[in-house]
Amino acid sequence: MTDFALDIADLHKIYPQRGGQPEKTALNGVSLQVPVGSIFGLLGPNGAGKSTLINILAGLAVKTSGSVRIWGFDQDRNPRMSRASIGVVPQELNIDPFLCPYDALEIQAGLYGVPRSKRRSQELLDALGLGDKARAYARTLSGGMRRRLLIAKAMVHDPPVLVLDEPTAGVDIELRRQLWAYVRELNDNGVTIILTTHYLEEAQEMCDRIAIIHHGSVRAVASTAELLSSIDRKTVVLRAPNSGATIEAFRAALPPRATLTPRPDGSVAVDYRRQETPLGAILAAATRAQFEIVDLTTEEPDLEDVFLEMTRDEPH
């Protein structure tokens, strides 16, 4: 047994020059450790290297250098067991339209060498709400049903690690809730989940730890709470009965680097840095400007703020 479901060290992937296209570095020294039993978020903008990393884990792409261990099995020394330890749900809905879901799972189980007596095709379909579609042509399934079928296919060999690549893209709210309920159930049963998503509020709610990748490099790896606390910026929203005449005076009285923005509802939002400006200094500025406060609320940074801070454009 290992402490890490996934242990990646100094992983590089370089696509060579080809067809007039220059050499491209997709992964540049990525190192990650995913604890057993966690729900781990893998976030980054388009082109950050997430798909390349997933393809390497799935055995669909060959790394240039570095090491990958899945459930303790080295991908180079024991490729069969490392691949058997992971299931990947791709972003693309790549399903044979002429197979029924039950047969699709049976074929997938056969490819992994699962004996007939240990296959759980109908059980998986029932768990994902596809039991009544077991014998229907896959081409008749809705997009949400196809995505659920992909999850079932990834689970036929009962892998301890499951990678979900944009699992709720194009899925309605109700189905998204159903999918996440099933993912939480899998996680409660010991399956380690690795999730990529562009829905940052989803990652903030679901993930224990998060890695942010940009330009093929890891910019941050931490618990969700640690990432949220890493942003020093904070916002306080103030409301006064008749603030129009005092807003400019309030702005002029604020400490350096604190900014004031009027909002359509008549309130004003003051952004400031917690380490250099205490909230008391903001309130003192309001008093000096005769900005009579009748209501006050604070807004904490969310994962979107962290993401934008970590993935700001910069020279390559």
Q: How far apart are CA 244 and CA 262, in angstroms?
A: 9
Of 81-85, 140-144, 155-159, least confident by mean pLDDT is 140-144
Rounded to an integer, the average pLDDT of 64-89 is: 94
The strand pair at 209-214 and 259-262 is best described as unpaired
- Check if the beta carbon of residue 220 is closer than 8 Å to that of residue 30: no
- High-pLDDT (> 90) share of the chain, %: 58
Q: How far apart are CA 29 and CA 13, in angstroms?
A: 9
pLDDT for the residue numbered 243: 61
Statement: residue 101 has pLDDT above 90 = yes
For tokens 């309920």, name the residue: 181
Rounded to an integer, the average pLDDT of 29-58 is: 94
Q: How far apart are CA 150 and CA 142, in angstroms?
A: 13
pLDDT for the residue numbered 316: 39
Q: How far apart are CA 108 and CA 156, in angstroms?
A: 7
- Check if the beta carbon of residue 63 is closer than 8 Å to that of residue 30: no
Beta bridge partners of 18: 21
Statement: residue 245 has pLDDT above 70 = no
Q: Residue 8 — pLDDT band, cuts 50, 70, 90? A: very high
Name 10's Cβ contacts closer than 8 Å, sequence gap at least 6: 29, 30, 31, 65, 66, 67
What's the fold here for domain 232-300?
Answer: Alpha-Beta Plaits (3.30.70)
Q: What angle do CA 147, 151, 153 make, to 5 degrees?
A: 110
Structural domain boundaries in the chain: 4-85+159-228, 232-300
Rounded to an integer, the average pLDDT of 142-169 is: 90
The answer to whether 4-85+159-228 and 232-300 have equal CATH topology is no
Q: Is the dihedral of CA 303, 309, 315, 316 positive or negative?
A: negative
- CA-CA distances (angstroms) from residue 178 to 147, 182, 188, 196? 12, 6, 15, 18
For tokens 């679901």, name the residue: 206
pLDDT for the residue numbered 211: 94
pLDDT for the residue numbered 1: 56
Name 147's Cβ contacts closer than 8 Å, sequence gap at least 6: 89, 93, 167, 168, 171, 179
Statement: residue 106 has pLDDT above 60 = yes
Rounded to an integer, the average pLDDT of 163-183 is: 84
The strand pair at 39-43 and 24-35 is best described as unpaired
Statement: residue 314 has pLDDT above 70 = no
Q: Residue 123 — pLDDT band, cuts 50, 70, 90? A: very high
Q: Residue 244 — pLDDT band, cuts 50, 70, 90? A: low
- CA-CA distances (angstroms) from residue 220 to 154, 214, 289? 28, 10, 41
Q: How far apart are CA 211 and CA 37, in angstroms?
A: 16
pLDDT for the residue numbered 218: 94
Statement: residue 16 has pLDDT above 50 = yes
The whole-model pTM stands at: 0.80
Q: Residue 64 — pLDDT band, cuts 50, 70, 90? A: very high
Average pLDDT, the chain: 89
Q: How far apart are CA 162 and CA 187, in angstroms?
A: 10
Of 52-56, 178-182, 309-313, least confident by mean pLDDT is 309-313
Which CATH architecture group holds 4-85+159-228?
A: 3-Layer(aba) Sandwich (3.40)
- Check if the beta carbon of residue 238 is closer than 8 Å to that of residue 291: yes
Q: Residue 198 — pLDDT band, cuts 50, 70, 90? A: confident
What does the pLDDT look like over 269-278, one tens digit per residue? 999 988 889 9
Rounded to an integer, the average pLDDT of 291-297 is: 89
The strand pair at 39-43 and 209-214 is best described as parallel
Q: What angle do CA 119, 120, 125 make, to 5 degrees?
A: 145
What does the pLDDT look like over 230-243, one tens digit per residue? 777 889 999 887 76
What is the torsion angle, in degrees rounded to the nearest 10, for the CA atoms of residue 59, residue 168, residue 28 and residue 84?
Answer: -20
Beta bridge partners of 201: none
